[in-house]
Amino acid sequence: MVKLFKRSLAKKSDALLILIFSVVVIVMANMLSQFLHFRLDLTAEKKYSLLPPTKQLIKGLKDQVLIKIYLEGDMSADFKRLRQSVLDVVQEMRAVGGKNIQYELIDPVNGKSNDERKALLQELLEKGLSPVNEQTGKVNESKVTMVVPCAIAVYAGQEFPIQLIENQIGFDKKQTINNSIIALEYKFANAIQKLTQYRAPRIAFTTGHGELSAPERADFTQQLQNLKYEIQTFDLTQNYRVPDRYDMLIVAKPQTAFDEKDKYKLDQFVMRGGKLLWLVDATNASMDSLKVNPTGQFVVDHNINLDDLFFKYGVRINSDLIQDINLCNQIPLVVGRMGNAPQTQLFPWYYFPLLVSDNNHAINRNLDPVATTFASTIDTIQNKEVQKTILLHTSDNSKAVLTPARVHFGILQQRPNPQYYTQAKLPVAVLLEGRFQSLYKNRLSPDYLAASDTVEQLKFLDQSPGDNKMIVISDGDIARNEMRSDGTAYPLGFSPYTNQSFANKDFMLNCVQYLVDKQGILETRNKEVKLRLLNTVRVGNEKLKWQLINIVLPILLILGLGFGYGYYRKKRYVLS
């Protein structure tokens, strides 16, 4: 009896020690979890993993970034999926950045008075953020609710607005949500980068050759300033060189020819590593000339003396005009009069092609069509040191009309014959990357080279760094905004005739960011996130079958196993 009692005490002591040890292990594990953190992403496309540029950006934070997320409240399943994806990205950023990444969810509707809601929504609108009205509920009981798919990143007293939903033409709601989810990492990383950069990149629009005026590029300029770029103008004709303080120059629709001095300044800017965005018209085609001349306009080559410079860098802008009968913008024409009032009608204008892309680069990924005006084709020149990427091209039903040619509205009087429009994917925008050779290599006199080498700022360079890049677009109007009657600018890419918005703004901003961004944040736009969406038609047809499989079948299996096990025990252990 005593031995049994002692053995019982020993077992109790062992159990107590095991309990204490288990508690200590759990406490220690919880303490270590505060310092050690790891996540496993088992998805095929690494959906929940941040790309290296984003990780590097977050690890370099010196202070706390607060992300205010307004995507909260009553919403449909699609927006709930977007909300969960937003949280996944932000939480993954927090896992990398620790306490330097904080976030809060804000419901802009519930729990607030009408005045508070109106004030908050007005504040978001002033920051460029837009709410979305969506219809929820059943068909007979549908209601319209307001969703605010927006966020604001706050760092060191500065704010950066983030629109979480993509505004895309031609996509249904699920596709739009899918594309928005793909872009989330880029949007958050871009916001953090803009807030934490030590200085704003300096960009200058060149002047002196009849480039776009300030009102014509007003919206493009404003959007760049909103993205924390420092925008200036630079007169090539009044300066002996392009200062190194500029990260990039934008040559926007020059009208007069460049002399060799100005070309040399641009060439040496490239050789020193400067970035260039070319928006150049190859012809003199103009809607203003067409409107005042009923017989049309005789279009010829617009000689601005840049052909040799482009050829040396790896492209050639052809002297032609693109027509596209599949994708083109519309223009209003007077078809008659009602009393004293002219009657207008919209016609597809084949000389205004809408450009698309192959989603082959971060610049053009998931973009709507881009509107152009009298664009020309671009040929790429073989050059092993320069890589060429076609960013925008026409549809499969287009052709290039060589100049000189007469452009007139008479072509709209009859339906175009598709047999004459068989040139597919004519390039209009090309990205050039690599080491550029100077146009003036082996062309300057020894005396000039000797004199220039004595001044460091004027020293001649015959090649650029190996990682330099530029973009050439054969349409000067791609960055021009339409003007209202009161002198204010329409948003870039907006057509006042059709009330339709095209992706000119997004494309141009992506071009600028890719050229000046040294951290590669724009590359996160290439991230592929495959969402396995259900086939709604098949779900509706097979709804009952899958309900029976998922609800009734497990119950039947459990009952069958129970009865089978009971029958087995009865046969084995019950005596007959």
Res 575: pLDDT: 60
Q: Which of 69-78, 236-245, 361-370 is predicted with the least confidence, judged by mean pLDDT?
A: 69-78
52-195, CATH topology level? Glutaredoxin (3.40.30)
Res 108: pLDDT: 79
Residue pair 359/339 in contact (Cβ under 8 Å)? The answer is no
Res 492: pLDDT: 93
Q: Which of 204-218, 263-277, 335-349, 424-438 is predicted with the least confidence, judged by mean pLDDT?
A: 335-349
Res 458: pLDDT: 82
Strand 341-355 vs strand 328-338: parallel, antiparallel, or unpaired?
antiparallel
10 Å CB burial of residue 519 (0-12, 13-18, 19+) is middle
Res 295: pLDDT: 81
Res 474: pLDDT: 96
DSSP string, 370-432: EE-SS---EEEPP-TTEEEEEEEE--SSEEEEESSEEE-GGGGGS---GGG--B---EEEEEE
- Residue 204 has what DSSP assignment? E
From CA 535, how far away is CA 538, in angstroms rounded?
5
Res 528: pLDDT: 63
From CA 543, how far away is CA 537, in angstroms rounded?
10
Is the pLDDT at 11 greater than 80? The verdict is no
- Of 70, 82, 79, 142, nearest to 110 by C-alpha is 70
Cis peptide before 404 (omega within 30 of 0): yes
What pLDDT digit, counting tens, does each position of 388-408 carry? 999 999 999 999 999 999 998
Residue pair 412/352 in contact (Cβ under 8 Å)? The answer is no
Residue 89 CA, distance from chain mean position: 17
CA angle 54, 515, 354 (to 5 degrees): 105
What pLDDT digit, counting tens, does each position of 315-334 carry? 999 999 999 999 999 988 87
What pLDDT digit, counting tens, does each position of 364-386 carry? 988 889 999 999 999 999 888 99
Please tell me the number of Cα atoms within 13 Å of 321 on its side-chain side. Answer: 24
Residue 448 CA, distance from chain mean position: 45
Res 172: pLDDT: 67
| Mean pLDDT value of segment 556-567 | 83
- In the numeric block, which tokens belong to residue 59? 């690890």
- Residue 225: pLDDT band (50, 70, 90) is very high
| Mean pLDDT value of segment 190-215 | 92
DSSP string, 87-144: HHHHHHHHHHHGGGEEEEE--SSTT--HHHHHHHHHHHHHTT---EEEEES-STT-EE
What pLDDT digit, counting tens, does each position of 449-507 carry? 888 777 777 889 999 998 999 999 999 999 999 999 888 999 999 998 888 889 999 99
What are all long-range contacts of 217-222, with beta carbons under 8 Å and residues at least 24 apart?
217/252, 217/479, 217/480, 217/481, 218/481, 218/489, 219/481, 219/489, 219/490, 219/491, 219/492, 219/505, 220/479, 220/481, 220/492, 220/505, 220/508
Is the pLDDT at 45 greater than 60? The verdict is no
Higher per-residue confidence, 531 vs 349: 349
From CA 363, how far away is CA 351, in angstroms rounded?
24
| Mean pLDDT value of segment 524-547 | 69
Q: Which of 171-180, 210-219, 559-568 is predicted with the least confidence, judged by mean pLDDT?
A: 171-180
Q: Position 258: which residue type? A: F
Res 471: pLDDT: 97
Q: Which of 31-35, 211-215, 431-435, 542-546 is predicted with the least confidence, judged by mean pLDDT?
A: 31-35
Res 252: pLDDT: 95
Contacts of 201 (CB under 8 A, 6+ apart): 229, 230, 247, 248, 516
Is the pLDDT at 311 greater than 90? The verdict is yes
Question: For tokens 């009408």, what's the residue?
Answer: 114
Question: Which phi and psi (to 5°) does residue 228 adopt?
Answer: 70, 30
From CA 455, how far away is CA 474, in angstroms rounded?
36
DSSP string, 293-358: -TT-EEE-B---S-HHHHHHHTEEE-SEEEEESSSEEEEEEEEEEETTEEEEEEEEEEEEEEEB--
- Residue 3: pLDDT band (50, 70, 90) is low
| Mean pLDDT value of segment 129-138 | 70
Res 343: pLDDT: 80
Res 200: pLDDT: 87
Question: For tokens 């990143």, what's the residue?
Answer: 153
Q: Position 254: which residue type? A: P
From CA 189, how far away is CA 194, in angstroms rounded?
9
Higher per-residue confidence, 117 vs 559: 559
Residue pair 88/100 in contact (Cβ under 8 Å)? The answer is no
- Residue 138: pLDDT band (50, 70, 90) is low
Res 325: pLDDT: 92
Q: Tell me the percentage of the chain whose pLDDT exceeds 70.
A: 89
- Of 72, 70, 81, 65, nearest to 150 by C-alpha is 70
Is the pLDDT at 24 greater than 70? The verdict is yes
Is the pLDDT at 282 greater than 90? The verdict is yes
User: The sheet that has 158-163: what strands, in order across it?
Assistant: 101-105, 65-69, 150-155, 158-163
What pLDDT digit, counting tens, does each position of 139-195 carry? 555 566 778 888 999 998 888 998 888 765 556 677 777 778 888 888 899 889 888
From CA 214, how far away is CA 222, in angstroms rounded?
11
Residue pair 134/147 in contact (Cβ under 8 Å)? The answer is yes
Is the pLDDT at 9 greater than 80? The verdict is no
- Residue 427: pLDDT band (50, 70, 90) is very high
| Mean pLDDT value of segment 20-39 | 72
